[in-house]
Amino acid sequence: MSVSLKRNIIANFIGSSWATVMSLVFIPLYIHFMGIEAYGLVGFFLVLQGAFSLLDMGLSATLSREMARLSVQPDRAQEMRDLSRTLEIIYWAIAVVIGLVVMTFASTITHRWLHAGQLSTETVKRAIALMGLTLVLQWPFSLYSGGLMGLQRQVLLNGFNAIMATLRGGGAVLILWLISPTIQAFFIWQIIVSALRAVLIALLFWRSLPSIDETATFKINLFRNLWRFMTGMAGISAMTMILGQVDKIILSKMLSLKMFGYYTLATMAASIVGFMATPFFFAIYPRLTQLVALGKHDELKELYHRSCQTVSVLVLPTSMVVALFSREILFIWTMNHITTDNTSLILSILVIGGGLSGLLYLPYILQLAYGWTRLTFYISSLSVLFLVPFIIFMTTKYGATGAAIGWIVLNMGYLLFAIPIIHRRLLPGEQWRWYREDVSYPLLAALVIVGLGRWLIHGQMSAPVTGIAVLSVYVTALAIAALAAPLVRAQIMGIAHRLRVTYGV
């Protein structure tokens, strides 16, 4: 693994970890100042944000892939800049349309979709209108960040994201505390931060592109060689949006804003698993794309398995600890028994599904690196046909808990049916190595440690002691899972050997 790739992975991991901390640490304060029903509106904003990702149409993924591909080819600087300008103009136009649609239908959404209790109709309507303006300013961020990832400016991007996440979350708490504890004040602050972030990320991206004398221009003909990949990514984006947001869309209609707030809280807590795998997605994707372009198959295969094992080591112990200790973790986090009672079971189910989903990140990246999008689109389409009626039925019967079960069923299907097809097409002969070494070894090792910890830790402990005990179980599970994964263990042993040689340790 190259030094630059290691640096990118570390930067992504630190950046994602900090963003996760910033997104999670302030949630109990949001609920404290605004109430759980108002936080339900924050959850609905996340639904809108995810739903409108459909309109990305694969543009950000295309820019990321093309920046990675063109950056290793000489004399393509002008094409890089022209493509960036073309996609930028299209993306901002889409952002304006999104904002206008949300603001236009704010009243309709308030009266016909959401089920507010204590919040007035006017408060909800104004909040939704503010969501529309926030979306306009947040929307282009995906394009610019995708471009920076493709250019492998990931250290820069993660440093920027860490600063903005701190400003967004910390500033919102100060606004709610010192100025106005209302949902309107919350979204006004989001608008201010989003405007600042949009301007700065655009400047960072354009300054990272190769410098040439000619001006970047809009050239629609650049799509000619990209249409196949873009069409596939557009289809995948549509299915990913539906799969990622269908539970929240359905629940925002079927549940009260209060109960939807609890589900949103559980979703945010469960997202920690995704954040463990995301750094590898952004760091490995450009490098795999380059290896495919250069035809270095053996190097690609080694990097793929090493990355899969590392993701398993990070994701599996995390999901197991959160699932089995959800009640303890939620109470330490929120210090609220009512919130814990309403959220813990939903969190346990969601985080198991999230752990299974995390294992699929690298196989998905492998498909994108080869430009093979058809399989993911077909499987996602079938998944939507299954998941929508399943969630509606389960929500009707069992509420939010029933909806969460869908994620476990869905991701188990991916692991059983999609993984063999991916490896047979792209890495023949590597399927069973993936199941055995990349997943099963760290899975079984972590399961033994976390299961033993659950048996030993009882409910009579104080919150601080419980927190230390759960953290100890987590660290131990991480260490044992790392030693159980062959390539991760070899890397650890290599580091230990170099330390002994260098420092006599």
Q: SS3 sequence, 88-121?
A: HHHHHHHHHHHHHHHHHCHHHHHHHCCCCCCCCH
Please give the DSSP secondary-structure letter assigned to residue 461.
S
Structure token pair of residue 438? 């990349």
Q: How many domains does the chain have?
A: 1
Structure-token match 């340790």, residue found: 505
Structure-token match 């993911």, residue found: 376
Q: Which of 87, 75, 93, 90 has its CA nearest to residue 214?
A: 75
Distance of CA 404 to the CA centre of its chain: 17
Q: Collapse the DSSP code of 370 into the 3-class scheme (helix H, G, I; strand E, B; otherwise coil) and give the result.
A: coil
Range of the domain at 188: 14-225
Q: What is the mean pLDDT of residues 418-427?
A: 89
Contacts of 292 (CB under 8 A, 6+ apart): 300, 369, 370
Residue 174: what pLDDT?
95
Choose between 75 and 310: higher pLDDT.
Answer: 310
Q: Is 496 a domain residue?
A: no
Structure token pair of residue 423? 């490896």
Q: From CA 460, how far away is CA 123, in angstroms rounded?
A: 43
Share of residues in the chain with pLDDT > 90 (%): 31
pLDDT class for 177, splitting at 50, 70, 90?
A: very high
Q: Is 193 a domain residue?
A: yes
Residue type, 466: T
Q: How many CA atoms lie less than 13 Å away from 227 in the CB half-sphere?
A: 6
Residue 17: what pLDDT?
73
Residue 117: what pLDDT?
77
pLDDT class for 50, splitting at 50, 70, 90?
A: confident
Q: Collapse the DSSP code of 152 into the 3-class scheme (helix H, G, I; strand E, B; otherwise coil) and give the result.
A: coil
> At 295, which helix (H) or strand (E)?
none
Instruction: For residue 387, count CB atoms less than 10 angstroms from its CB and return exposed for 0-12, middle for 13-18, buried for 19 or more.
Output: buried
Instruction: For residue 39, count CB atoms less than 10 angstroms from its CB and return exposed for 0-12, middle for 13-18, buried for 19 or more.
Output: buried
Q: How many CA atoms lie less than 13 Å away from 217 in the CB half-sphere?
A: 5
The answer to whether residue 261 scores a pLDDT higher than 60 is yes
Residue 4: what pLDDT?
62
Query: Which whole-number Å values give the CA distances from 67 to 4, 143, 225, 345, in the listed order?
Result: 16, 12, 14, 43
Q: Is 268 a domain residue?
A: no
List, for residues 80-120, the tens digit of each pLDDT value. Answer: 888 888 888 888 999 999 999 999 999 999 888 888 878 88
Q: From CA 421, how far away is CA 413, in angstroms rounded?
A: 13
Q: Is 505 a domain residue?
A: no
Residue 224: what pLDDT?
67
Q: Is 347 a domain residue?
A: no
Q: Is 188 a domain residue?
A: yes
Structure-token match 């995301």, residue found: 278
The answer to whether residue 16 scores a pLDDT higher than 80 is no
pLDDT class for 335, splitting at 50, 70, 90?
A: confident
Choose between 205 and 62: higher pLDDT.
Answer: 205
Q: Which pTM does this prediction carry?
A: 0.73
Q: Is 81 a domain residue?
A: yes
List, for residues 434-459, the tens digit of each pLDDT value. Answer: 999 999 999 999 999 999 999 988 76
| Mean of the per-residue pLDDT values of the chain | 85
Q: From CA 144, how far away is CA 139, in angstroms rounded?
A: 10
Q: Is 125 a domain residue?
A: yes
Number of residues assigned to the chain: 505
